[in-house]
Structure 1
């Protein structure tokens, strides 16, 4: 004769199953995906892609001056080379938010206009410790192929040329897609 379970065990098992279904909303676990792109950031000259637009009166507007706000429109490339295939733009706002100038708040949209993600966006925001080579921010949403995306992005400065204020920044994006 096969073993049978008592009624309390059946009830507890049913309740646990119901709780699991409610918590997961009946969906399969999220899939994780990692993408790598490169920003070509230029802070000086005719082709500058990041510019200060406002700051505190009487102070120099710079990445180290509290209250300075920058706008960004960096090309997003497939490799670190400036001659690589451009797949979109990183457009947004950077605000120096700490009194000592060590941190900036970034609100950035990756707007894809070429390749397999064309027409899609990823929304990034968070506090960036700009004196560190590697900075982690949140991916808070997306559109198109990235609808309902969430995750994080690691900004890593690959190279920086002080006289021209040119830098190459690697974005390693880890996403949980429904």
Structure 2
């Protein structure tokens, strides 16, 4: 019995000894922009319409969270309400206009004043045309009661890799009772 105890203690001791291992790795490396095989920087202008529909049998924006207070229900600005979206992008402002992609993301009502403001993260993915499979990402404040708004383009993928730029947005149509809207987007994006 004593021999078994000694063997177990010896085995545990040997298991606890760490053997130094040489690892050749770094958590980063530096590359030049040319090593990424990127071509010359381009400027692209995009024009499309976003359909944000909160009503009907198949809404494209749905509320997924709200504050745990009752003032949000009575207020004209539902501060703290969070929405998930999967809005269609179309070439024109009509429902019969060609669908060119979709906008997926989140927006949250972030204003406690009468001027409704949201903060949004949206990825505009293109499913048709020259930019099929590419997207641009917008993360910005959106004061929706202002007639002309500007948002920041903070990134992209596909043909819009390393994108940056800005969006000019106007409300083309707004129905306040179900909160349905058609928004006109003019995008200027720098990319490789």
TM (norm. structure 1) is 0.78
Question: Which of residues 84, 87, 96 in structure 1 aligns to 2:109?
Answer: 96
Counterpart of 1:116 in structure 2 is 130
Is 1:64 matched up with 2:77?
yes
Larger relative strand fraction: 1
Residues 43, 110 of structure 1: alpha-carbon distance in 2 compared, 3 angstrom cutoff: same
Structure 1 unaligned blocks of 5 or more = 1-24
Q: Is the 8 A contact 1:90 1:111 kept in 2?
A: yes
2:78 match: secondary structure = coil
Structure 1: distance between partners of 2:76 and 2:86: 16
Counterpart of 2:90 in structure 1 is 77
Q: Is the 8 A contact 1:61 1:68 kept in 2?
A: no
> Residue 63 of structure 1: CA displacement?
7.4
Counterpart of 2:157 in structure 1 is 143
> Residue 69 of structure 1: CA displacement?
0.5
Structure 1: distance between partners of 2:165 and 2:104: 19
Q: In angstroms, what is the RMSD of aligned CA positions?
A: 2.4
2:73 match: secondary structure = coil
> Residue 177 of structure 1: CA displacement?
2.0
Bigger Rg over Cα: 2
Deviations 1:72-93 (A, max 9, x none): 1110011111111111110110
Deviations 1:46-68 (A, max 9, x none): 12111111111223298712111
> Residue 165 of structure 1: CA displacement?
3.1
1:83 match: secondary structure = coil
Is 1:49 matched up with 2:60?
yes
